[in-house]
């Protein structure tokens, strides 16, 4: 089992992974770090646990949306093009609303 040292939000974590998966794990840590930077850019101060919770929730929300999009792509119905356009619009609205919620939570802990 390989060991990878990750730096996330200034903290160092050593994590085990299967041999050969070190690069993938590092890429995932960089994705988390990018999300942390985006949330921090919205302003406000938050503790480490709260910040990681917000990142996890945002990523889980995106995963949920992607799974729904994949399910639609695999089994589209007759109205799929219009539905896809509405879905994309709805997703953008949702992401904008979510960004506002995060900013508000950071400004009012």
User: What integer pLDDT is reported at residue 3 of this predicted model?
Assistant: 95
Question: Residue 46's beta-bridge partner residues?
Answer: none
User: Each residue of 25-84: pLDDT tens digit?
Assistant: 999 999 999 999 988 888 766 788 888 888 998 899 999 988 888 888 777 665 555 566
- The structural domains of the chain, with segments of one domain joined by +, span 1-41, 46-109
Interior/surface letters 72-105, b for 16+ CB within 10 angstroms, e for the rest: eeeeeeeeeeeeeeeeeeebeeeeeeeeeebeeb
Q: In angstroms, rounded to a whole number, what is the distance separating the alpha carbons of residues 38 and 14?
A: 24
Instruction: Evaluate if pTM is beyond 0.85.
Output: no
- In CATH terms, the superfamily for domain 1-41 is Cell division protein ZapA protomer, N-terminal domain (3.30.160.880)
88 or 66: which leads in pLDDT: 66
User: What integer pLDDT is reported at residue 14 of this predicted model?
Assistant: 95
The residue written with tokens 């009012």 in the block is 108
User: What integer pLDDT is reported at residue 94 of this predicted model?
Assistant: 73
């Amino acid at each position: 089992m390989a060991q990878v040292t990750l730096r996330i939000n200034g903290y160092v974590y050593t994590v085990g992974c299967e041999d050969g998966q070190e690069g993938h794990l590092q890429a995932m840590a960089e994705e988390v770090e990018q999300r942390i930077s985006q949330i921090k850019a919205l302003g406000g101060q938050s503790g480490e646990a709260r910040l990681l919770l917000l990142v996890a929730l945002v990523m889980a929300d995106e995963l949920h949306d992607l799974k729904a999009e994949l399910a639609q792509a695999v089994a589209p119905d007759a109205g799929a093009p219009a539905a896809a356009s509405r879905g994309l619009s709805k997703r953008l609205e949702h992401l904008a609303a979510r960004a506002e919620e995060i900013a508000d939570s950071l400004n009012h802990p």
